[in-house]
């Protein structure tokens, strides 16, 4: 059960990172700082999201 909770937290952090990257992109990504922040938030958000989903899918609950 603990692994599923960690997976949910990672997934939520990934979604937050992807939303933050999207908001920065829509506010204008012309200067260098904004492009760096968009790519950083986007890559980290994607990694967290995919690892959280994989952790949720691959965790089996044991019947006790």
Q: Are 57 and 3 in contact (CB under 8 A)?
A: no
User: Is 63 within the bounds of a domain?
Assistant: no
* pLDDT range class, residue 59, cuts 50, 70, 90: confident
Domain extent at residue 13 = 2-58
Identify the CA nearest to 7 among candidates 50, 38, 45: 50
Number of compact structural domains in the chain: 1
Whether 42 is covered by a domain: the verdict is yes
Whether 53 maps to a domain, the answer reads yes
pLDDT per position as a tens digit, 18-55:
999 999 888 876 677 788 889 999 999 999 999 999 99
- Residue 10, pLDDT > 90, answer yes
Asked, for residue 21, whether it belongs to a domain, the answer is yes
């Amino acid at each position: 059960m603990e692994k599923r909770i960690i997976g949910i937290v990672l997934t939520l952090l990934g979604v937050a990172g992807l939303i933050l990257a999207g908001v920065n992109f829509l506010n204008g990504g012309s200067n260098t700082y904004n492009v760096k922040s968009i790519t950083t938030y986007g890559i980290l958000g994607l990694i967290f999201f995919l690892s959280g989903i994989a952790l949720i899918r691959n965790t089996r609950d044991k019947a006790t």
